[in-house]
Structure 1
Amino acid sequence: KKQHILVCLSASPSNEKIVQTAANMAEVLSARFTALYVNNDFSLTGIDKKRLDMNIQFAEKLGADVVTVHGEDIAMQIAEYARLSDVTKIVIGQSNAKRSRIWSGYTLTEKLIAYAPDIDIHIIPDAGFYKKSRKSSLFVNTQLPTMQDVLTACGVLALCTAIGFLFLHLGFNDTNIVTVYIFGVLVVSAMTKGYICSIASSLLSVFLFGFFLTEPHLSFKTYAVGYPVTFAVMLSSSVLTGTLASQLKKHAKLSAQSAFRMQILFDTDRLLQKAKNSEEILSITCMQLSKLLDRCIVAYKADNDILLEGRIFPKTESSASERLLNGSERSVAEWVYKNGHCAGATTSNFSNAGCLYLSIRIEKRIYGVIGIPMNKNSVDSFENSVLLSVLNECALAMDNAHNAA
């Protein structure tokens, strides 16, 4: 059975050492080498995100197939991927094997052993214990609410209060009114972005209920002994349901993004099978990448060991063409063509360039260079994984076309 080594990627400063160790193991054992990143957190800081991108690029440079998956339980995602991909060895850092506190739960290593008892787990000493610079998991999406979100929340709670008055007039008990407010918080969570409006609505619903709908009215004083318990249960239920609704929205968005990106990959494979020549292959690849990344793509096709004139897909205004196809940008593309390594924006080579340049290559044969403008949002880890897969499909199609010519 062929060995398959899986290394876990993270934003840790010591992750580069772990990736290097795993790459050395893969080379010695002539094993397949995969680097896996489990995306379970939107709140990486700018420094951590940059470090993660560098670790991903380093793994790619060492020949790893970079894969990104999404999930809350990191150990479960790693174990499930390892099982489906016939991984024989998992390499992680020692910091993942330590408990940060006495009362902490099971470590990542302990969970991995439980989930994948038949796979060898290699723990590599790293430079101390790394704590991610992350915000509280409750506020994963910390974007401030818009005025529309605030008005929506206020409108929903006002409607809940009006329904509460109606229920009170009809002689319904407090339980029915509390249920209306909890439902209102769910509606707010579904109609607004992030957690802030959801949590604020949970707190405000308790105050509205206590002020308007309990005896004495228009006062926070209560005659009934059980009202404090009612308030506490109502607040807890509202916060819990609101948070769960927001998390459900987040996972639904993730699923939609994953489905879209996978569809791009499948469509690319289908379209490339119908392509008749290298020009058509390059055009299809660039248009699919443009759709994936929501930006124009620069392409240089190689012919007789030289790069031809660059083109932009889809066609754009002349000012953008002049900026993306100038001499300095072309020199970076030529460096990538000669050296076979990525360069340009977000890399250590020619970092001042406007584009990130990647080669279209299969083994040592390079058929062209792709440039991705980085003036918009940077390419995230999952997009990068799909991007590399599309480029591999393009290189394979061009190689087949070259051999058939």
Structure 2
Amino acid sequence: MQAVRQNLGGYAVFAAVLAAAGLPIYIHAPKFYVDEYGVSLAALGTVLFGLRLLDVVQDPLLGKLAVAVRRFQGLAIALALAIMAVAMFGLFAIDPPTNPVLWFAVMLTLVFSAFSFLTINFYARGVQKAEALGSGTGHIRLARWRETGALLGVCVASVMPSIFLALAWPEFTAYAIVFALACVLAGLAMQNEWRGRATTLSAGFGPVLKDGVSRRLLLIALVNAAPVAVSSTLFLFFVESRLDAPGWEGPLLLLFFVSAAAAAPVWGTLAERIGAKQALLAAMVLAIIAFSFALFLGSGDTLFFAVICLASGAAVGADLTLLPAIFARRMETVAPNATEGFALWGFVSKFTLAFAAIALLPILEASGFVSGTDNSETALWTLTLLYAGVPCALKLVAIALLVATPLGKE
């Protein structure tokens, strides 16, 4: 009952919709445009990276816009949700009326612009919410609800196309319709949260970038999120071609994200007992162990990969829960009214996905890999090395950075 009064469930629902517009896009969209319209992996990777370069300019401006429209925050949020829903429908449910690559770029620009604006407002409001919940554990409590909701949103969005396909429905059209309905639900769930005191000052990037711990946290977020971006971008290709298990993509994705969602509150509880930094380090080690075993998988090893999905999913539950809570608590200390801090956080999170697309998809294509066909052993080994080896290396770097970062109460 207390959680209902505090509307933590509303934060979970809103986070679920934002998550469904983020990570699953990188799972479904590239393969969808390759299979349906014959777009090359290199072209898609270039577009995705180009959109992230746009964010370098756009996200800071969206942070300033969030401050400028603070008096009409509820209306601005509703408009952004509507734009995101319409663009998602255009991306998946409408045959491109022009060049598919251009259509892909325009629709994703709208999706990600709305996503960025919503994320900045959502996390900035979350700082104030955490204060109301109690300065001691408020950020961890809110993060448990928020990030668990996000993980559940990713779970549902990741497997929806497979479910609709099994029902003989037009899977991505149905996906876009359900997403639009979810946007309406999210708007209703959070409508009362945008009332009252909102961010009233904008100190810009200065307070955030001048703070050494904040800079280090942004760098850790960049490096630590990259493995998830890599594995998410290549997941469908890995299951279909390396494991030779077409049709298992949906169940394995569901297993991965359900494991992450189930583990998220556990990591939050552990962080309250031993500290967020120690809990996060434990999760990073677990991720390395899990991905290292994926290096040795081949055709028919679907069951072994399911175990890896369980372990790596549990590790991701910590990444998505604890790091945002640590950063939000730092913002409360350094720049509680600087929405640009959350613009930086949003940019870092999205840039990792773009990095995976621009760095890995062209390499995979250059190795001779072709989706949905028999591939050479060289191409399959390249896929395996990119999917499992690169995340292990990145996690080691993230561990070193986190160990060297003095977090104090964070």
**TM-score computed with the length of structure 1 as normaliser:** 0.26
Q: Which has the larger radius of gyration?
A: 1
Give 1 or 2: higher strand fraction: 1
Structure with the largest fraction of helix: 2
Bigger relative CO (Cα 8 Å, ≥ 6 apart): 2
